[in-house]
């Protein structure tokens, strides 16, 4: 299915003109080739591993029957397959590294998460902000676009009065980041919570109130992820 979609996208881009369209087509071609190579390696590994296991069983059977010449031949074939698996594994790691590099190059300077797209728990939207963080555990969750793994600075734009504040935790599928929510003296401000590591295949980002000074943590106006390498 993924390959079919890529082929349709490739066909569409080839109908476009030169310039930026040509660059987009070249990227599509590279992505399609990487996807094909990865799929081919994945399809190859299974049968090779099964044959290696069968040879290992045969080697033991022949050795038990004192057919040492046969056992040696089975062992040699098994070692050849082992080397082939090691080679395919290295190729797979190289492909993954190239895909990560491509995705990183396609990223803009920042990824903006819309306030309106957040899934809310014990908080509410009001006046263009997420507010009502009245107790620990209140949260807002966003679905992430496809992002390469690595470090991302979590920048929060919020308004926080003198009787508000506390701390908040940003969490993806595996890693977390906790930082303070402090009074903003000049209205809404952008505050860098720190760098959160995103794991491979991360699909959501959740902000959860950790501590609340009094009745409300803040009025959250925006969430932005900035690749740490930028």
Here the CATH number for the domain that contains residue 214 is: 2.60.120.260
**What's the number of domains the chain is made of?**
2
Same domain for 45 and 140, yes or no, is no
Return the CA Rg of the chain: 26
One pLDDT digit (tens) per residue for the chain, 230 residues: 444 444 444 454 444 444 544 555 666 777 788 778 878 888 888 898 899 999 999 999 999 999 999 999 999 999 999 999 888 888 887 877 776 666 656 556 789 999 999 999 999 999 999 999 999 999 999 999 888 888 999 999 999 999 999 999 999 999 999 999 999 988 899 999 999 999 988 999 999 999 999 999 999 999 999 998 65
Same domain for 153 and 102, yes or no, is no
Buried b (16+ CB within 10 A) or exposed e, 126-159: eeebbbbbeebebbbbbebeebbbbebbbbbbbb
The pTM (predicted TM-score) of the whole model is 0.60
Same domain for 14 and 84, yes or no, is yes
| Main-chain phi, psi angles of 201, to 5 degrees | 80, 15
Q: Which of 39, 143, 147, 40 is nearest to 100 (CA)?
A: 147
Residue with tokens 């929060």: 156
Decide if 173 contacts 129 (C-beta within 8 A): no
* Token output for 192: 């860098």
| Domain of 152, in residue numbers | 111-227
Residue at a domain's end among 106, 136, 168: 106
For the chain, strand residue ranges (E) read 111-113, 119-121, 124-126, 129-131, 139-143, 150-159, 166-171, 176-181, 189-198, 204-212, 219-227
Q: Which of 108, 113, 126 is nearest to 219 (CA)?
A: 126
Using CA atoms, how far apart are residues 133 and 167, in angstroms rounded to an integer? 11
Using CA atoms, how far apart are residues 139 and 206, in angstroms rounded to an integer? 7
Instruction: Find the Cα–Cα–Cα–Cα dihedral 82, 83, 88, 94, rounded to 10°.
Output: 130
Residue at a domain's end among 78, 106, 134: 106
Same domain for 96 and 169, yes or no, is no
Decide if 151 contacts 200 (C-beta within 8 A): no
Pair type for strands 219-227 and 111-113: antiparallel
């Amino acid at each position: 299915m993924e390959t079919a979609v890529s082929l349709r996208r490739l066909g569409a881009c080839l109908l476009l003109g030169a310039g930026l369209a040509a660059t987009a087509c070249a990227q599509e071609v590279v992505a399609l080739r990487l996807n094909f190579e990865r799929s081919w390696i994945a399809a190859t590994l299974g049968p090779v591993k099964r044959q290696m296991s069968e040879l290992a069983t045969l080697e033991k059977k022949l050795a038990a029957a004192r057919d040492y010449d046969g056992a040696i031949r089975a062992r040699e074939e098994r070692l050849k397959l082992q080397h082939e698996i090691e080679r395919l594994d290295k190729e797979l790691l190289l492909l993954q590294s190239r895909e990560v590099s491509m995705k990183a190059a396609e990223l803009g300077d920042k990824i903006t998460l819309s306030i309106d797209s957040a899934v809310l728990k014990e908080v509410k939207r009001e006046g263009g902000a997420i507010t009502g963080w009245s107790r620990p555990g209140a949260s807002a969750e966003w679905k992430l676009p496809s992002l390469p793994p690595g470090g991302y600075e979590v920048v929060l734009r919020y308004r926080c009065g003198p009787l508000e504040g506390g701390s908040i935790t940003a969490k993806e599928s595996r890693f977390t980041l906790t930082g303070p929510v402090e009074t903003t003296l000049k209205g809404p401000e952008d505050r860098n919570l720190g760098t959160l590591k995103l794991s491979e295949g991360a699909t959501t980002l959740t902000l959860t109130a950790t501590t609340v000074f009094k009745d409300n943590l803040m009025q959250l106006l925006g969430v932005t992820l900035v690749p740490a390498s930028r």
